Structure 1
């Protein structure tokens, strides 16, 4: 190991961090806070506090005790329980103002359903005026890097004739309106926000609608209405979410008790972000190229100008961008939770990523919309990766994240830029009152990185010694054979391998007709519960039973139709699969208890209702005029097919990256298992299937519905439930940045066919090849 690698290991240690930061951990109590209030995040590195922070257990327990000890009535009544509600809500208003260092003499709190609702209230209540010859009219000025919900006000303003002006930030002014989202602050309650209104500006707001509780007086038979005098009374239509508002008291109390206040939270979280920034910006591949492109206008020198957020893209050793979707998927394998995309902030995304207005429009025409996984277009990122720290974040979170970056994305051995080592080791003054002298910020990182030449054009990614697949050089269309048949009776549980199997109207007979759901009826997958792969279902056609087996458990049996409790009425319930609402039947208490015991949490087994039809989504191989393709509880299509020749090439990449060819035969089968295909075929060339349109397997025709985009589930070892970064990491390299593997297939049973078709291993596979040349891998 060279000196640079030793530098990183030392710099990524807690001792090194503490030598440069004196404000960590609330006087050493942060570990106690984690142990007592956040035990549920053990093993998880949660780095999406800007999305929502996490609530402490003691907050929920305190709120629950409050709810169980008091009677809170509707605040619009005047009985004792209602007066208690009114007084407690008014106390919460004061606590909100106190938190923001103001008072009722300056501001009024209007409770809303969230910060977006607060902004919408301003948009719809402000008296916008168009300019005239006599007066300028209204101007709506917003920052180009404002959140979507702020920019959206312009639609209302411009519709009223007001002038809309996007501007760059220059200086701040006392705000007339301040939107608040409480779950961003406390993690609980959700669905509650507020608008702080400067009292001097409150009188200009007007609204046409009036709801219950907002009227001082009105007449039903005459257009007469007098609003309540206070701004909160005028704008809080109907009954406010008073129980959620009462919870705010517990939120503020708990935050103060655990941390000592916002000043200490600011220093604690900024220290973690600062250290992560310095190390990440210093990481280099073995060839000296930087690992990360960081988007920031500060050097993380002052918490007054920089929050606990780090936004970046990763670069490979050739200087090409790594797609944020790949980073997200690999992070999930390591139980690291980040956020990716543009974060509802198109302006900042354009600024730092250098995306023009026309490119945004062109990307939309090409099919890219906000929130999808199209992370690279022509080698350039459409979004980035964001990590953010919260008051319960620890140095271990910082350390786990940095080690993840090194393990998965650095072409080793890792190096640390020499120019940053001294800065990393510098000691911050211990004066907690004014720890940061005024510093002049330098040039934004994004500009400086471009000058250093780190934003090189996209390059094809290959593992050393293993060629990437080159389009146009394949021998496609040659017949192969069907090597394996797998069905998965229970979604996300183990496979059932068969030598022959009948086809049904939804796919392989009994394939993914059942799924495991949590106590809220939400489908569980190996992404959340990798131990699902240890549950091995068996189909017993003779006895018409489904059996479940798992390590340390006696088998349990469920009828292939209906519930295991013959005396009980089968419960019909609604669930969702890939956004589709499906009707299901509960399989009973006995199997629910079995699953709950094995997985260690309340779970149930449900079956797709035989009377329910779920159609495949549009655009997935469907031809206009043909009858709809029906699905079971699969994600996208009836069948998933992979090619063993493609598996072999991918395995070469994995072995090359790991520096070992040991146990290749067993690894091949393990790799096949990870991709959870129904049909495994022997093709003659790797990825020749990319150009197939139709396939004949034996006497049964199949239509290609498209490629299968892979997620972090392929990182789960199907024999143990252990997670790893492979094969997702090598798949991206093998496919030149793409993470597709395998084809979705569909087959429609002829209505007049008397015999049920059956697939058998060894059957010939004859593809029909597309006339169009394949796109780059």
Structure 2
């Protein structure tokens, strides 16, 4: 029997593979595992929708023209068809079109808060953030776990009566968790409604709100029994079909009277409105949706929904068939991740989703990764690498605060402490206090295949399964925590390699091209970094956010020139082969260097640069922040040519398909150090801090190689002295890298194959993070406010202190 099931699923998988090739060209060379966010739309859906729009004239349904009547007729038919998609009898249910599931929730809440007594609210801990937010409108609220739910179902209501108020209760929960795919009984709705007959909450009516958005994306929802169905069901059609961007609220007609308390009315929802001398209106008294759909409906989106339902059935059949296919795939995915083991036998993944072989669950697996010693791997690092490999997943809190806190064991005080320490949704601070702050989520959909599952498991094995024990970076002060501690520099050791400054580069505009300091020029070093480094940034006028090459690689083609004779910063666009029209933006601009920077107020992305006196109490509390401008972590970033050569050797050994050597420019360093005497090749097996997975093949000889200087030796330095005056610089820690190193700084394009980040992820990952280069800044005695000017130039001798 089991063998025949596998044959059946494999056969359907082959059908889906063929459908993918024809209908989903956007998925070519991609592993898309974020169907819980949204599922892709098929080509034929867009083609047919375009045909509908170009062969029919749809008017505003509030008018009486022929085009308006066509719109009205189609909307009525599609509304009925949408109800039938969920086996909902229009005699028992009404469907209200909304923007998305959240808009449906808000429509219910806006109504209930208008009740004379208000309402009390109970919600399950697995609820989406949009359900959690309802509590702010309730008179009282409570978050329930499974045990408390069981108590309620036997009559122990978590919301007790208060004096004589008979406030209704709204209970909300997800049919399926958007975090881990766990499913919750639809029967809770009827059981909770019946619990109002118990002694503890007699005379208090209970309404149920079901968030079905995650469930309906890959499984059927049966509302054929109106007596047991939830009072309100919300979901988004784009989760099912990919397009259109439309949602719905399905209301059980036995509960629709509650909407009579709603105060606001919009265009199209009333039969009469009096404004002059009196204020009176008559709501429409036909179908409920006529009173709730304020303004003109999104006609074209609703027409698209009709096409979407047609195409989806033609491609995938019933939702039961989709559920069987995704269920088969999630079992393979779960087993694949569960089976990953490090060489020492430790698990690679901690999985939070229920075992699909033991429980009914959705096609979602939530997990985290740790190395062979149990150290958590950064979510941001996983997502960066996945992005380079064409893998689409979701990481972070996934808008499910209760589910995340429960799975990760995060207490409220820990979450508040993380917030006070700088954690925000969308930041890279994903491991705090030794615990991850979010999860990795892989979710499957109707057009997912065995190949997707196998590809993702292979990715996990290639980059996160360890055959040997991990190597730790030398312990150095962190630029975030200990970057301004007083350090009494010692003279350099006699046996340390002598280096020179190969190049000095400043980046006047953050994330744009650099300005190379001429070899015969002394360049000032300030407490916040090199003079004129990251003084400006480009800001998106719509969002107010500083732009970055991570999203806009072409920024590398904006080439700055500091012209001190003219007293201006000249910026030229160096787009090769691109013709700028005379009516378009200019190819070059100039900015006065003397312009008051306070006239432009960019959003800071670095540490506050304000100087103030430090009290003895503050001194005893630890180091104060180091001043930087718009740089990300520290005043100065340095690399060595020896490490770049070693990395190129690793790239050649691990990725023979790499087309060219990695340029030093991709690391966007301010200072590049090279040995003062170039000579023989270096054997990378002697590297003190390269990962055990580094290749041991000989390194190709070339400029910047020195037997005395080992690759990545800069990780061990505590300080350096530079120049004839031996100016002291403190090393602040290794530089954490992201996929921005994969951008060709000459062409403004991403380097194919994801190099060098892919190789760095295999050879330079320490405690879940990827490092290359070192942060540094002026030492305390150089930064004592004595008026001494520190300058460096190309060719200066560099003496490291280990």
Contact 2:353–2:364 (CA under 8 A) maintained in structure 1? no
Deviations 1:505-555 (A, max 9, x none): 9998899999999xx9x999875798x69989798999x9958486xxxx6
The structure-2 alpha-carbon separation of the partners of 1:659 and 1:510, relative to structure 1 and needing over 3 Å to count, comes to: closer
Q: Determine which of 740, 756, 762 is the counterpart of 2:795.
A: 762
> In the alignment, is residue 140 of structure 1 matched against residue 159 of structure 2?
no
> In the alignment, is residue 469 of structure 1 matched against residue 474 of structure 2?
yes
Q: Determine which of 636, 639, 642 is the counterpart of 1:644.
A: 639
Contact 2:474–2:716 (CA under 8 A) maintained in structure 1? no
1:291-440 pair list within 5 angstroms: 291-301=348-358, 305-412=360-467
Could you tell me which residue of structure 1 aligns to residue 344 of structure 2? Answer: 287
> In the alignment, is residue 126 of structure 1 matched against residue 112 of structure 2?
yes
Deviations 1:97-143 (A, max 9, x none): 12112121121111112111111111110267798xxxxx9542211
**Structure with the greater alpha carbon radius of gyration:** 2
Secondary structure, aligned partner of 2:250: strand
Could you tell me which residue of structure 2 aligns to residue 751 of structure 1? Answer: none
Question: Residues of 1 paired with 2:143 and 2:634: CA distance?
Answer: 52
Deviations 1:690-716 (A, max 9, x none): 999x99999999999999653223356
Q: Determine which of 224, 227, 242 is the counterpart of 2:283.
A: 227
Could you tell me which residue of structure 1 aligns to residue 32 of structure 2? Answer: 46
Structure 1 residue 23: Cα displacement: 2.2
Could you tell me which residue of structure 1 aligns to residue 604 of structure 2? Answer: 617
Could you tell me which residue of structure 2 aligns to residue 710 of structure 1? Answer: 737
Question: Residues of 1 paired with 2:559 and 2:108: CA distance?
Answer: 56
Q: Determine which of 144, 148, 152 is the counterpart of 1:166.
A: 144
The structure-2 alpha-carbon separation of the partners of 1:91 and 1:233, relative to structure 1 and needing over 3 Å to count, comes to: same
Contact 1:636–1:744 (CA under 8 A) maintained in structure 2? no
Deviations 1:299-347 (A, max 9, x none): 4356xx2111111111211122212222111211211111011211111
Gaps of 5+ in 2: 151-184, 190-228, 479-486, 493-498, 614-628, 676-708, 779-789
1:731-770 pair list within 5 angstroms: 733-734=765-766, 737=769, 742-743=774-775, 760-763=793-796
Contact 1:144–1:166 (CA under 8 A) maintained in structure 2? yes
Could you tell me which residue of structure 1 aligns to residue 181 of structure 2? Answer: none
1:587-736 pair list within 5 angstroms: 587=587, 613=600, 615-617=602-604, 620-623=607-610, 636=631, 641-644=636-639, 670=662, 672-681=664-673, 686-687=714-715, 709-715=736-742, 721-724=752-755, 725-729=757-761, 733-734=765-766
Deviations 1:367-426 (A, max 9, x none): 22233222212322111100011211122211111111111000138xxxxxxxxxxxxx
Contact 1:284–1:290 (CA under 8 A) maintained in structure 2? yes
Secondary structure, aligned partner of 2:365: strand
The structure-2 alpha-carbon separation of the partners of 1:394 and 1:620, relative to structure 1 and needing over 3 Å to count, comes to: same
Question: Residues of 1 paired with 2:758 and 2:361: CA distance?
Answer: 36
Could you tell me which residue of structure 1 aligns to residue 244 of structure 2? Answer: 189
Contact 1:216–1:228 (CA under 8 A) maintained in structure 2? yes
The structure-2 alpha-carbon separation of the partners of 1:373 and 1:660, relative to structure 1 and needing over 3 Å to count, comes to: closer
Question: Residues of 1 paired with 2:322 and 2:740: CA distance?
Answer: 36
The structure-2 alpha-carbon separation of the partners of 1:176 and 1:615, relative to structure 1 and needing over 3 Å to count, comes to: same
Could you tell me which residue of structure 1 aligns to residue 503 of structure 2? Answer: 484
Question: Residues of 2 paired with 1:404 and 1:193: CA distance?
Answer: 35
Secondary structure, aligned partner of 1:203: helix
Contact 2:731–2:774 (CA under 8 A) maintained in structure 1? no
Secondary structure, aligned partner of 1:284: coil
Could you tell me which residue of structure 1 aligns to residue 165 of structure 2? Answer: none
Secondary structure, aligned partner of 2:714: coil
Deviations 1:74-102 (A, max 9, x none): 11111111111111112221122121121
The structure-2 alpha-carbon separation of the partners of 1:670 and 1:516, relative to structure 1 and needing over 3 Å to count, comes to: farther
The structure-2 alpha-carbon separation of the partners of 1:523 and 1:377, relative to structure 1 and needing over 3 Å to count, comes to: closer
Question: Residues of 2 paired with 1:525 and 1:362: CA distance?
Answer: 29
Deviations 1:667-720 (A, max 9, x none): 9x837433222433579973578999x999999999999996532233567795
> In the alignment, is residue 202 of structure 1 matched against residue 242 of structure 2?
no
> In the alignment, is residue 259 of structure 1 matched against residue 316 of structure 2?
yes
> In the alignment, is residue 33 of structure 1 matched against residue 19 of structure 2?
yes
Question: Residues of 2 paired with 1:478 and 1:130: CA distance?
Answer: 78
Gaps of 5+ in 1: 1-15, 132-136, 414-460, 559-563, 572-584, 588-605, 627-633, 747-756, 770-777
The structure-2 alpha-carbon separation of the partners of 1:112 and 1:644, relative to structure 1 and needing over 3 Å to count, comes to: same
Deviations 1:549-597 (A, max 9, x none): 86xxxx66x8xxxxx55xx34x4xxxxxxxxxxxxx364xxxxxxxxxx
> In the alignment, is residue 241 of structure 1 matched against residue 260 of structure 2?
no
Question: Residues of 1 paired with 2:235 and 2:29: CA distance?
Answer: 31
Contact 1:540–1:546 (CA under 8 A) maintained in structure 2? no
Structure 1 residue 202: Cα displacement: 1.0
Question: Residues of 1 paired with 2:88 and 2:266: CA distance?
Answer: 29
Contact 1:697–1:765 (CA under 8 A) maintained in structure 2? no
Question: Residues of 1 paired with 2:310 and 2:724: CA distance?
Answer: 66
Higher mean alpha-carbon deviation, 724-733 vs 651-660, is at 651-660
TM-score of the aligned structures, taking structure 2 as reference length: 0.65
Higher mean alpha-carbon deviation, 367-376 vs 499-508, is at 499-508
Structure 1 residue 261: Cα displacement: 2.1
Structure 1 residue 624: Cα displacement: 5.7
Secondary structure, aligned partner of 2:451: helix
Question: Residues of 1 paired with 2:303 and 2:467: CA distance?
Answer: 53
Aligned residues: 622
Question: Residues of 2 paired with 1:321 and 1:51: CA distance?
Answer: 25
The structure-2 alpha-carbon separation of the partners of 1:701 and 1:117, relative to structure 1 and needing over 3 Å to count, comes to: farther
Structure 1 residue 740: Cα displacement: 8.1
Could you tell me which residue of structure 1 aligns to residue 693 of structure 2? Answer: none
Secondary structure, aligned partner of 1:204: helix
The structure-2 alpha-carbon separation of the partners of 1:637 and 1:219, relative to structure 1 and needing over 3 Å to count, comes to: same
Question: Residues of 1 paired with 2:724 and 2:144: CA distance?
Answer: 59
Question: Residues of 2 paired with 1:335 and 1:203: CA distance?
Answer: 50
Structure 1 residue 743: Cα displacement: 4.5
TM-score of the aligned structures, taking structure 1 as reference length: 0.67
Secondary structure, aligned partner of 1:253: helix
Contact 1:33–1:258 (CA under 8 A) maintained in structure 2? yes
Question: Residues of 1 paired with 2:753 and 2:431: CA distance?
Answer: 30
Question: Residues of 1 paired with 2:533 and 2:54: CA distance?
Answer: 47
Secondary structure, aligned partner of 2:258: coil
Higher mean alpha-carbon deviation, 317-326 vs 113-122, is at 317-326
